Amino acid sequence: MKAALRLGAMTAGAALVLGSAGAAYASSASSTSTSTPSNSSGSGRLDIVKATAHARIAGRLATLHALALDVSDSKYLTSDEKSALDTQIDSDLSALTALSSKMAAETTAAAVRADEVAMVDDYRVYLLMAPQTRLTEALAAESDAAATLQKAYTALSDLAAKQSGGATATQKAELANLQAEVAAAQSAFANQVSTELAVQPGPDEAAIHASLEPVKDAVKTARQELVKARSDAKQLRASLKA
């Protein structure tokens, strides 16, 4: 019964992570525009182009640092998941820092703009790295919630069986629903981490969106099943306490 009574507290954190992750990975401002003021010339114009490029790359570096902190602070990511994300984030930080120095040394606006194209297409910090981090966190939270609900199912099933006369017909139905919903959630998020982490940056923004969309759908499906499972677990707990 102890596992069942702890159900609400143990899954509340996962629900918060899923909600915030959903909002985070839904936003993917790739910001590919490289337009700059056209009313300047010579070195002044180059300085404006460089300043704009520097602001864009600084924003990406700040985002990567924030993602690294999120990974470090995560309660749900496994060591392997943290390692995979850290490796990619560190690689992007190093490469973009080097690109920032290259931009600063450029002598023409055209060269800076070419660097900006590489900054976007070769790394896709906003469009890909940020969603990958949020999706991996959401999937890890769902896996944790499913494991908790599976333990609750076992505890509730045992308690129902120990009642005088065993589990009631209603309790048996609720137990069956609970088990089916946990299984459906597990099926939805299975292998999704490896799928979304395998997506690579590149110039085709639409292709990246298309590659991540099924994973986002899987996260939503799993979350819906876990919400239903949690509701059934609460009903069972209430009937067993009555």
Percent of the chain scored above 90 by pLDDT? Answer: 79
More confident residue, 165 or 184: 184
Q: How far apart are CA 141 and CA 21, in angstroms?
A: 10
Return the sign of the alpha-carbon dihedral for residues 126, 65, 97, 50.
Answer: positive
Gap between the Cα atoms of 132 and 238, Å rounded = 39
Average pLDDT over residues 154-172: 92
Does 192 score more than 80 pLDDT? yes
The pLDDT tens digits of the residues spanning 7-65 come to 444 444 444 444 444 444 434 334 444 444 444 456 789 999 999 999 999 999 999 99
User: Taking the domains of the chain in order of start, what are their residue ranges?
Assistant: 1-28+136-242, 31-123
More confident residue, 98 or 34: 98
Structure confidence by residue, pLDDT tens digits, 205-223: 999 999 999 999 999 999 9
Average pLDDT along the chain: 87
pTM: 0.82
pLDDT at residue 40 in the model = 45
